[in-house]
Structure 1
Amino acid sequence: MTNTLAATVPENTTDIARPKPVLSVEGLSTSFSVDGDWKNVVRNVSFDVMPGETVAIVGESGSGKSVTSLSIMRLLAKGTSRINGKIMLNGKDLLSLTDKQMRDVRGNDASMIFQEPMTSLNPIFTIGRQISEALTCHSNLSQADARAETIRLLEKVRIPNASSRFDEYPHQFSGGMRQRVMIAMALASRPKLLIADEPTTALDVTIQGQILDLIKVLQEEEGMAVLFITHDMGVVAEISDRTIVMYRGEAVESGPTDDIFHRGKHPYTRALLSAVPRLGSMKDSRWPLRFPIVDVTTGVSTVPTEVADTVDKRKTPILEVKNLTTRFDIRSGLFGRKSGAIHAVENVSFDLFQGETLSLVGESGCGKSTTGRSITRLVQPDSGEVYLDGYNVLTLDQASLRNMRKSIQMIFQDPFASLNPRMSVGATIAEPFIAHRLGTKKQAQDKTVDLLERVGLTADMMKRYPHEFSGGQRQRIAIARALALDPKVIVADESVSALDVSIKAQVVNLLLDLQQSFNLAFLFISHDMAVVERVSHRVAVMYLGEIVEIGPRAAVFENPQHDYTKKLMAAVPVPDPARRAIKRDVATDELKNPVRSVDYLPPVRKYCEVSNGHLVQVE
């Protein structure tokens, strides 16, 4: 019997034991038609994704990582794109399938989560209907069964009160909850492969932590293979088993994530890793610290230097905010009577000194952006006092307000939205100088040239238009425009949150250099705690429109007192692959609703001084 059994076993038994990849990509090349020529944007990329494995593709915008994922799913326009190579999914050659066969693959065998859920969800249909549709398209479920399964999926992705939220619309969900809906939709047909294309880039740090933990849990439960696309090396460390680094359309390095992080050989890999802000890296630094910049061709790194202390607190603050309150009325009924109000900013007070950076941090909806807009009178506050250079901003008439804005400027999150696409870059930067009649057109042009060079661009770019620049370059242009009036205060509202990690490092360094050159005061609004730690002199943590903790950067980061501050810091991804198995167990509840009834009276808050200048709200 023994001999008979032995005869039936193939000699190479290792082939039987080795699992087959869920996805196998060989020699993938993708080209796009540009002005009649074919431009190759992905070149000869090969990799496998095994069952239950997470493979991350990392790189900056333009590296080809998203095009790679869209090529795998065959979501590129037929007439203007070409895909060559071999893409095998569960034994199916995807490039040989018809369009109808490929539609059956999408959702059944492979699903995709995109970066911005609001553009992926249909605003006119309820989220329940959209997930149910994904189910009924790929199965014979009845409407009642599809509804029950949809509610089960919503519960699976940790959406509270799933049955009652079935009939709600996308706009009624927060960004994090919308991304959960997209994950539920992607999981509807239990695919073997989940492709997540920058699923956490636009999310707050706590929501990002929740989504990463959720993907880990669902992967364990469903045994899915995950292809995770991102430019955030902190996220890569926490979620991926293997990593592929892409640069200019090519995979320049790949291997186990631990090897990439600790023994990465390619200069571009080292450049990406050096640009990652690490929470706690400022422990021995007194003042803001520049990022190290690595040459992607040589791997040589510049040593970051501290920014010299230019803050003089013996003088009067350049900006004083006292009891600032901003609310937005909610009206309902036939006659539009006021039925409540959104308490966006509630009794906020702080000072800002010349040459200082005060960071406002918190999740979306906490009121930090409304605070910045209220100070500049882009939003009209309900009450309070804002003194800028000695003048009460909230009492100024239109002429005085226009004059005041020379002293305070804003840099917005999305430079493409804030730059006029029909105006050249030169005209955009010169416009405020000319509008405020600060000099002749020749002087405006000279100032524009000087500002372009100061922000790392060149004079010959003046005639170009915004669409001809990268995201990082557009943000530099927005910074140059903000400096055109020689302001004393700049409100930077999430000005680097949408940028790739290395571009973010460059722009942050630029802001620190400009602060030192012009002695600027920055109100830096952000949810990125690691960047905030690097650039700040002081930090104010906001929650539900109120400052719950404020103090020197070292005091807040090294000795956080408020529970919400601790929650924010616990959610920051750490670029250490050893943490891959760790789950933060961040609470999945949404930020509490700031909507209040008409007769609501906010409680009087008390603050305790923990150390010199370190104040914490007490219950």
Structure 2
Amino acid sequence: MLLSGTQFEQSGGSVTPVLSVKNLSTSFRVNDEWKTVVRNISFDVAPRETVAIVGESGSGKSVTSLSIMRLLAKHSSRIEGQVMLGGRDLLSLPEEEMRKVRGNEISMIFQEPMTSLNPIFPIGKQIAEALTVHKDISKAEAKAEVIRLLEKVRIPNAKGRFDEYPHQFSGGMRQRVMIAMALASKPKLLIADEPTTALDVTIQGQILDLIKVLQEEEGMSVLFITHDMGVVAEVADRTIVMFRGDAVEVGETDDIFHRGKHPYTRALLSAVPKLGSMGESRLPMRFPLIDVKTGEQQILKDVTDTVSKLKTPILDVKDLTTRFDIHSGLLGRKTGAVHAVEKVSFNLFEGETLSLVGESGCGKSTTGRSVTRLITPTSGNVQIDGYDVMSLDQHALRKMRRSIQMVFQDPFASLNPRMTIGSAVMEPFIEHKLGTKAEAREKAAAILEKVGLAAEMMRRFPHEFSGGQRQRIAIARALMLDPKVIVADEAVSALDVSIKAQVCNLLLDLQESLNLAFLFISHDMAVVERVSHRVAVMYLGEIVEIGPRAAVFENPQHAYTKKLMSAVPIPDPARRKIKRNMSTDEIKSPIRSVDYVPPVREYREVSEGHLVQVA
């Protein structure tokens, strides 16, 4: 299927595309047979144009980009078709010629910059290498150009950071370094493969703005790979929707969003959380879901109010403080501390969801781990279901954890790869001596059915499941002890957009049927708005704003809350040319000296239950 001809009509004339892909098919050798994972993809990318390839994990979008760059292993992959760049077919070029194309005429940035940067070399040297490989320039000239590039991608104090190492940069700043490296040889085409997926929402906004600005300044074309339709709306002129190796719909981004015909396109669009879509609803709302085969929308019932009217909260946290000492020198003296959580107070009632939101490093995950005593807090008071958490010995602590369980971001890391999922789900029940193995198996089967998995799947291993299914298994495992509180620590952050919607709906279903209380930890404000009763915004270890979800989202008071909300991608192509001009400052360090005394914080009540920290 050809997206456009080999030429684009512009202002009455015609312009040759920068990249022209025709009938691209990619296969992998599996058990001595060739399995085709990308089938007959055709598209062009015009000068200064951004084309987005969108689809979920396994759709073939990243394989398409790697095929264009010829970065797949030769012995186990087969690429067919034609990839034209500057009058040459990249698929027929000798390897030596192709090496000159990579990083020179086409550059690529990946999802995780830390895997692309060498940890033992300074970042300045790594970017300079990208220059010296393709150009005949001196070391001094290369250094001057690297500093110019670092300034161009808005890295503060570029000259001073030339000799710093990757680990000394935040995730967002490392991604800026990768963009600087990609721009070093002034490529005609930049391939951005999920460059913002692993980033906080504010950092994502900065990177999207940066790519827009650099495209204008450098005159580049961009091929943008993503699974997020909100991001597509912000950056793409034209869009290719991929599903299981096929391009199922192509066209102008505006047409795709407003007149999308394929059921899968509509399913992707329906799963994108839209900030401000809750109206006057006081309760959470399930995500609308569309069947990817029929295009029919599932009929969803409204969420019923399950919040306990009792005055005693199931979880009560007062002045929780968690610090990590820093020791240095030959004698290992204490020289400072990381003030991860500072005087945090909140409560949580049965059937309620309180969301903790903020960027990486704000202390929200440490708060979750502290209330469960996975990390020992420095001070404060935590009451869970009648237990005084801070005073418990190991035996009592083990018993208390039947009342509160955690679901983590990466379910694969939470599950033993050598243990069947049946054994993994049964394990907490058996370890806590709550019944026989037969009873554990019966309960595990029932809970797996409740989270949308078949009981016969119990014999399978974690690697045999998708990411969304593994997260359902992790939730089932947490439910085996009949907890009253579940701490969901970025439990949906790593999932594709439609799977994320399904898991969020599952959590709401479970809350309704089991009267669960959720401490929902996330950096995604659009998801938080959908699932929460109340919201607490954290910054540098402190709660800066807390209140009912409607009050916080409709009337945000703290500057940081407003910043988080303004960074959420809005799935509206009309906003494509808008730049948010977000600050590029990194989040401040929570490291304090030994003699540091935290200031006493005061809060003012904006409305009933809506408190904001006074600056």
| TM > 0.5 | yes
The correspondence for 1:370, drawn from 348, 366, 369, is 366
1:459-516 Cα distance to aligned partner (Å, 9 max, x none) = 1111111111100001000000010111000000000011111101100000000011
1:215 to 2:211 alignment: yes
- Residue matched to 2:126: 130
Q: Which moved more, 1:387-396 or 1:60-69?
A: 387-396
1:272 to 2:268 alignment: yes
The correspondence for 1:296, drawn from 292, 304, 311, is 292
- Residue matched to 2:108: 112
Residue 108 of structure 1 aligns to a residue whose secondary structure is: coil
Residue 34 of structure 2 aligns to a residue whose secondary structure is: strand
- Residue matched to 1:145: 141
Q: Is the 8 A contact 1:231 1:501 kept in 2?
A: yes
Inter-partner Cα distance in structure 1 for 2:582 and 2:418: 45
Structure 2: runs of 5+ lacking an equivalent = 1-8
- Residue matched to 1:380: 376
Residue 102 of structure 2 aligns to a residue whose secondary structure is: helix
Inter-partner Cα distance in structure 2 for 1:410 and 1:91: 55
1:75 to 2:77 alignment: no
- Residue matched to 1:7: none
- Residue matched to 1:471: 467
* CA 1:26–1:599: 2 relative to 1, 3 Å: same
**CA displacement at 1:15 relative to structure 2:** 12
- Residue matched to 2:392: 396
Aligned CA-pair RMSD: 1.1
**Equivalent residues in 2 for 1:240-389, closer than 5 Å:** 240-389=236-385
Inter-partner Cα distance in structure 1 for 2:300 and 2:49: 37
1:506 to 2:505 alignment: no
**Equivalent residues in 2 for 1:378-457, closer than 5 Å:** 378-457=374-453
- Residue matched to 2:484: 488
**CA displacement at 1:219 relative to structure 2:** 0.1
**CA displacement at 1:41 relative to structure 2:** 0.2
Inter-partner Cα distance in structure 1 for 2:360 and 2:423: 33
Inter-partner Cα distance in structure 2 for 1:15 and 1:393: 70
**Equivalent residues in 2 for 1:16-95, closer than 5 Å:** 17-95=13-91
1:190 to 2:197 alignment: no
Inter-partner Cα distance in structure 1 for 2:590 and 2:86: 48
1:251-289 Cα distance to aligned partner (Å, 9 max, x none) = 000000000000001010001000100000112212010
Aligned residue identity for 1:427: S
**CA displacement at 1:387 relative to structure 2:** 0.4
1:171 to 2:167 alignment: yes
Inter-partner Cα distance in structure 1 for 2:487 and 2:259: 40
Q: How many pairs does the alignment contain?
A: 607
TM-score with structure 1 length normalisation? 0.97
Q: Which moved more, 1:284-293 or 1:26-35?
A: 284-293
**CA displacement at 1:119 relative to structure 2:** 1.1
* CA 1:569–1:16: 2 relative to 1, 3 Å: closer
Q: Is the 8 A contact 1:346 1:546 kept in 2?
A: yes
Inter-partner Cα distance in structure 2 for 1:337 and 1:20: 65
Aligned residue identity for 1:229: I
Residue 325 of structure 1 aligns to a residue whose secondary structure is: strand
Residue 603 of structure 2 aligns to a residue whose secondary structure is: strand
The correspondence for 1:181, drawn from 177, 180, 198, is 177
Residue 346 of structure 2 aligns to a residue whose secondary structure is: strand
Inter-partner Cα distance in structure 1 for 2:90 and 2:166: 32
Residue 270 of structure 1 aligns to a residue whose secondary structure is: helix
Q: Is the 8 A contact 1:213 1:584 kept in 2?
A: yes
* CA 1:557–1:78: 2 relative to 1, 3 Å: same
- Residue matched to 2:493: 497
Inter-partner Cα distance in structure 2 for 1:369 and 1:465: 28
Which aligned segments of 4 or more residues in structure 1 are displaced greater than 3 angstroms? 13-16
Q: Which moved more, 1:305-314 or 1:275-284?
A: 305-314
- Residue matched to 2:5: none
- Residue matched to 1:534: 530
**CA displacement at 1:14 relative to structure 2:** 9.4
Q: Is the 8 A contact 1:289 1:304 kept in 2?
A: no
Aligned residue identity for 1:44: N
The correspondence for 1:231, drawn from 216, 227, 230, is 227
**CA displacement at 1:16 relative to structure 2:** 9.7
Q: Is the 8 A contact 1:285 1:306 kept in 2?
A: no
**CA displacement at 1:305 relative to structure 2:** 3.4
Aligned residue identity for 1:592: K
Structure 1: runs of 5+ lacking an equivalent = 1-12
Inter-partner Cα distance in structure 2 for 1:313 and 1:103: 67
Inter-partner Cα distance in structure 2 for 1:187 and 1:328: 39
Residue 512 of structure 1 aligns to a residue whose secondary structure is: helix
Residue 557 of structure 1 aligns to a residue whose secondary structure is: helix
1:438-460 Cα distance to aligned partner (Å, 9 max, x none) = 00000010011011101111011
Q: Is the 8 A contact 1:289 1:305 kept in 2?
A: no
- Residue matched to 1:202: 198
**CA displacement at 1:304 relative to structure 2:** 3.8
Aligned residue identity for 1:110: I
Q: Is the 8 A contact 1:548 1:617 kept in 2?
A: yes
TM-score with structure 2 length normalisation? 0.98
1:8-47 Cα distance to aligned partner (Å, 9 max, x none) = xxxxx99993111111000000000011111000000000
Q: Is the 8 A contact 1:22 1:51 kept in 2?
A: yes
Residue 18 of structure 1 aligns to a residue whose secondary structure is: strand
Aligned residue identity for 1:461: M
Q: Which moved more, 1:555-564 or 1:17-26?
A: 17-26
Residue 459 of structure 2 aligns to a residue whose secondary structure is: coil
**CA displacement at 1:144 relative to structure 2:** 1.2
* CA 1:474–1:143: 2 relative to 1, 3 Å: same
The correspondence for 1:521, drawn from 504, 508, 517, is 517
Inter-partner Cα distance in structure 1 for 2:241 and 2:258: 14
- Residue matched to 2:557: 561
- Residue matched to 2:578: 582
Inter-partner Cα distance in structure 2 for 1:525 and 1:546: 14
Inter-partner Cα distance in structure 2 for 1:412 and 1:14: 50
Aligned residue identity for 2:583: A
Inter-partner Cα distance in structure 2 for 1:561 and 1:314: 29
**CA displacement at 1:601 relative to structure 2:** 0.5
Q: Is the 8 A contact 1:322 1:348 kept in 2?
A: yes
Residue 462 of structure 1 aligns to a residue whose secondary structure is: helix
Inter-partner Cα distance in structure 1 for 2:112 and 2:375: 26
Inter-partner Cα distance in structure 2 for 1:148 and 1:281: 48
Inter-partner Cα distance in structure 2 for 1:305 and 1:595: 47
Residue 474 of structure 1 aligns to a residue whose secondary structure is: helix
